[in-house]
Amino acid sequence: MIAIVDYGMGNLASVKKALDYIGEESVITDDSSDISKAGGVILPGVGAFAPAMENLALKGLDTALINACASGKPFLGICLGMQLLMDGSEEGVTVKAGSHAQISGLGIIPGKVRRFPDMGLKIPQMGWNSLIDCKGSLLTEGDYVYFVHSYYCDPQHKSDIAAMTDYGITYCSALESGNVFATQFHPEKSGEAGLQILSKFARRVRA
């Protein structure tokens, strides 16, 4: 069983539908005990970083997610769910030269979430883009996947980067650290490539 975490800010139905399509059992839940009992966890997300962290804390899900990652069970963060794994984010913070202000995240993957610089490109990045495979991860199936985001993850340890993508800059678009996986793109909206990624994650859960 895969637990899809409901904290009021996720594309839950799309993720559940994709898992149903590939024949994987899953449940949408905001119950910490369900997360503890699940064989794997998916943390989806659409929206802003600070309200997401507030919602997780209000439901006691922040501790449940940290414990799930520490337990060794397969864990997948998607879009905002990937960003929440980091130490903190610039989103919602007025960043000045030399400032290190940030809103705290779950601190599961060391690093920071940054806003795309002004590059003359449309922000948010919205649409299909390619992946540059960095370590042969299960997250780098196919050539093109679907993105919608204005911020990107800047991990402290480059060994955690599973894939990168070019959009004005070359940034981290997927993470892999032990049992923790994360994608800035939406596998549930990425056609056959995305379904293959979810299938490989599900196989890891069953292993």
pLDDT in tens, 20-75: 999 999 999 999 999 999 999 999 998 899 999 999 999 999 999 999 999 999 99
Q: Residue 163 above 90 pLDDT?
A: yes
CATH of 2-206, one of 3.40.50.880, 3.60.20.10, 1.20.120.1780, 3.40.30.10: 3.40.50.880
* d(C-alpha 153, C-alpha 89), whole Å: 9
Q: What is the overall mean pLDDT for the chain?
A: 93
State how far the Cα of 68 lies from the Cα of 72, in Å rounded to an integer: 7
SS3 state of residue 11 = coil
Q: Of the given ranges (90-99, 157-166, 184-193), which has the lowest mean pLDDT?
A: 90-99
Q: φ, ψ for residue 158 (rounded to 5)? A: -65, -20
Predicted confidence (pLDDT) at residue 135 exceeds the cutoff of 80: yes
Is 188 a residue of the active site? yes
Catalytic residue among 69, 79, 134, 172: 79
Asked if residue 81 lies in contact with residue 119, where contact means CB atoms within 8 angstroms, the answer is no
14-23, 93-102, 175-184: which has the minimum mean pLDDT?
93-102
Residue in the structure block whose two tokens are 């800035």: 184
Contact 111, 83 (CB under 8 A): no
With contact defined as beta carbons under 8 Å apart, do 69 and 180 qualify?
yes
Active site residue 186: yes
What pairs with residue 27 in β-bridges? 3
What residue ranges in the chain does DSSP mark as E strands? 2-5, 26-29, 40-43, 75-78, 86-89, 103-104, 109-115, 125-130, 132-133, 144-149, 151-155, 161-167, 169-177, 180-183
